[in-house]
Structure 1
Amino acid sequence: MNKMHFYRPMMTGSIPTSTQSKTTSIPASNISKSQKGYNLEIAVPGFSKEELEIILEEDNLKIIGKYEVEKETKEQFIHKGFTKQPFEISFKLSDTIDNENIDAKVENGLLRINLGLKTEAQKEVKNIAII
């Protein structure tokens, strides 16, 4: 099975890259910005919260949808507009995101992830010594 993993930039000026991985679908997503931070919505029709996993590793936010694809189905589809398939999608986060202020919920086929912004006091400034 050919599987895709997409690495998408989020709130940065970086260029997206893609690599081969263990997924077959890329879910639709929306990204919006509010005064409090960024809001990420991902279409996950048919997925329960137990089948979803969100991993934050440094500045990389990874969302994984786990699902065993059924080999045989008793139904014969006339039209199949959406399908439940395993996926993995990643977003590179800006250093303005507060990693301690991220929450998520799944409701009505949408996974909503709220990414809070750091306050001015949280932004780390480091002086580099010249030697």
Structure 2
Amino acid sequence: MGAWDIGHFDNDTAADFGGRVDDAEPGKKADVLRDVLTAIADTGPEDYADCGEEAVAAAALIAAQCPGGEPVTTAYGPKEPLPPLPADLRPLAVRALDRLTAENAEPLDLWAEAGEDQAWLAGIAALRAVLVGASGE
């Protein structure tokens, strides 16, 4: 993962994902987010969850539309505003974030190797709190 900072879009994979979201038709943007979240959320604990950067970016986009969510203002995120996203993406995003903070998850391993795992986990916890609060879980 080529990363320049700890932010949810501050790595090559997430920045490319922002462009992919922009390239999707307005009615398909939620599907793009759902696909990357499902790919991570559906991995078992025995599976190695790699390439989770897209799922984190998707979760950030969903959380941005929730009460208390931070807007995605980075130049590396989507340039076009997203339509209102379906509420069922919120618990899916929580499941994906939970998977990425468990064992056998590449992003956590990479941030740990860089000595930034606690800062990264704090950012993930903040996203998760917004998503859970908006889901009513």
Alignment TM-score, normalising by the size of structure 2:
0.23
More helix by share: 2
Larger Cα-atom Rg: 1
